[in-house]
Amino acid sequence: IDNATTRGQVQKLVLNAWATSLDGAAVFPAYKDEQHKAPGPIEPVTSLPLLIGLDHSGLHPAAVLGQVVMGRLNVLDEAIFTDDEAGMTFTEFVEQELAPLLASKYAGMRVDVILDPAITRNQIDGRTVTTILSEAGLSSRPAITNDPRLRRDAVTRWLNKANAFKISSTCPRTLRAMRGGYRFKTNRAGNVTKEVVKDSNSHPGEALQYLCIGLNSGSSGVSTSLMPAGFAPSTAPRVLAAR
């Protein structure tokens, strides 16, 4: 069954399996649990850099952490905004979610943070996202593009490569997004549009896109031979250790 919505309904109603309810089409229909979900936690390789894709827009920030190990992208972890209606500022997110995760599980590793190139400022004190990260001991750089199609393609290319993409069981919200929670809107006529639904699934989905589009040689220590065509080497400096 090719249609993501129909496949989800069959999983849920016929096979009695877990499935995300979809109003539109899944952004990443190439994702399949049986191929891309790890059976348990994936441990980091501490000698290799850790790459963090960061969606810092609005009051619902999200970070997805990964590494490329022997040509395979391992999605290791996630840091997601506090799940309440008020959300949280980016400063709160770094202090309460991202920094504690790095300190507890990834201390001492080189960390490369890839941002939405639309760098925003804290509306309370005027500090930029990069300043807030720097004060937490993290170096960051903007993604080379914010084109939604190119961002999605960067993820899809990993999904389509054999044995090249695994998501750890420690990433429940990213898994939910990839299973179809992250989806395109449908219009009143029932047609799928090019606009994605902005909700709790879109934040980790877009953080993963920034991670994938940030995977190029240089700060991430990844050979250009492993990257999709069109990616230029990064000129970002070697990043600071998490503390």
Which pLDDT value is given to residue 8? 46
pLDDT (average), residues 150-156? 95
Q: What's the 3-state SS for the chain?
A: CCCHHHHHHHHHHHCCCCCCCCCCCECCCCCCHHHHECCCCCCCCCCCCEEEEEECCCCCCEEEEEEEECCEEEEEEEEECCCCCCCCCHHHHHHHHHHHHHHHHCCCCEEEEEECCCCCECCCCCCEHHHHHHHCCCCEEECCCCCHHHHHHHHHHHHHCCCCEEECCCCHHHHHHHHHHCEEEECCCCCEEEEECCCCCHHHHHHHHHHHHCCCCCCCCCCHHHCCCCCCCCCCCCCCECC
Tokens of residue 123, six digits: 């509306």
165 pLDDT band, cuts 50/70/90, is very high
Which pLDDT value is given to residue 156? 95
230 pLDDT band, cuts 50/70/90, is very low
Pairing of strands 111-115, 140-142: parallel
Which pLDDT value is given to residue 9? 46
**Which residue is associated with the tokens 């998501």?**
167
Tokens of residue 157, six digits: 């290319």
**Residue 25 · residue 5 · CB < 8 Å:** yes
Which pLDDT value is given to residue 190? 87
127 pLDDT band, cuts 50/70/90, is confident
* pLDDT per residue as tens digits for the range 135-148: 898 989 999 988 99
Please, which residues bridge with residue 113 across strands? 52, 140
Which range is least confidently modeled, 40-44, 72-76, 85-89? Answer: 85-89
Which pLDDT value is given to residue 56? 87
Pairing of strands 192-196, 184-186: antiparallel
Report the chain's mean pLDDT, rounded to a whole number: 80
pLDDT (average), residues 89-103? 92
Which pLDDT value is given to residue 117? 84
